[in-house]
Structure 1
Amino acid sequence: MHFKRRTLLVLAAALAVAAGAHAKDPKELVIGTSAGPYADQVRLGIKPLLERQGYKVRIVEFSDYVQPNFALAEGSLDANVFQHIVYLNRFAAEHKLALSELVTVPTAPIAIYSRRHKSLDEAKAGTTVALPNDPTNEARALVMLEQMGWIRLRPHTDPVKASEKDIAANPKGVKLLPLEAAQLPRALQDADYAFINGNYALASGLTLTDALRRETISRNYVNLVAVRTADRDKPFARDIANAYRSRDFLAWSAKHQPGYARTD
């Protein structure tokens, strides 16, 4: 009898600790994002709207494309804003994470920049071109390179999955330099050209008008708010989605981030 009672007490204590570990004020939100335009969207466009509804919003900025999804999956974040659906689906599948799209957000396109050249026409054999090394953003850059006539991809290449292995011809003789996306603005000091994701370009002081050519962005590459799949229908998730769809936010975005793509 004494053993049973002690066991029950230990079990009750363990359950209490577990419950306490997961207890959280439903009006406290932690949103992860990458430095630059998406952090600005949350801080200046979304946070004020959520605070009007009684939320306390904390923003956590990340310098890479890996940690935000792990932090979301483990519960350190309630939502994150930095990626498109192709990246989210691939990352979640590879790492067995139950993450889902909530709502798309105004998105700055990937674009090609140069500090050495004023035109794309100056490319020649040996020209160095830096591009993202993560699979989905590398594919975007390769598709643009083909559109520019600098490379040719193999017939029937899936544009979402294109890689350097799919390059069938390199008539310009350019040299590709795959780098981490966050390093690409600095690569402009050494490379002739660089494909830079919109958030990193803007965070480094570049503007969309500085680009020599911008991507015509597709639904695949419009950025989104991600949440844990189990949280998609919770009130806080609906409130975040509604904030991004609101007239107030859309007016803020049109004023402060003109030219951004949106499909939601």
Structure 2
Amino acid sequence: WRGWEKGRRAYPFAPTGIGRDTVKALHDSGAKVVAVSRTKEDLASLSKECPGLEPICVDLGDWEATSRALGNIGPVDLLVNNAGVLLTEPFLEVSKEAFDRTINVNLRSVIQVSQIIARGMIARGVPGSIVNISSLVSRATIPTLTSYSCTKSAMDMLTKVMALELGPHKIRVNTVNPTVVLTNMGRKVSADPEFANALKERTPLKKFAEVEDVVYSILFLLSDKSAMTNGSGILVDGGYLAS
């Protein structure tokens, strides 16, 4: 992939895990990268690894703060919406606070940030690509993930609507839908050995995803190699939904 988007400006959310490795892959490929996180320490360490990175520290769950931080962002050609929180609660114990926080970060921020970036693309008359990081649980049920699953299912439909309305402006929008990925968030979901083993057993490849499995799918959707892919989702699930 090296050099495939050299000089283009990319904008992933990158505290840890998938976002962080996506930033590093884009940076290594020659893209000018803007990275967003609410954690200054994560941005500082990432900036050391990726010289020239433009870090922005903001809580994307805060609409007003996000508007102030990103309202004057420069030209961006590629956007990865990767910010997310996962708060586990049984359905009968779902709280307003947890549900609102999950909606605000996982879904509402995608709408707000994508509006900002897409308007800039349209004003400049340039094509672009937006990748929304969804999940296997947008299509399959897992206990205690009510709020998270709802946001990911909604994200899949949001992606289709965005693809429909932004397509005429040559802006493509797609999702990547991974199974459990071996990040801090993924380990939280799979902490129960019995549950984790059951999930792996139903997966034909008998394993969870590595971060790089997701990153390569993101890079494909950002690149011109996916020029006719719009409103679609790449399943990185090891065949889980095929079983």
Q: With structure 1 as the length reference, what TM-score do the two structures score?
A: 0.29
Larger radius of gyration between Structure 1 and Structure 2: 1
Higher RCO structure (Cα 8 Å, ≥6 apart): 1
Q: With structure 2 as the length reference, what TM-score do the two structures score?
A: 0.30
Larger helix percent: 2
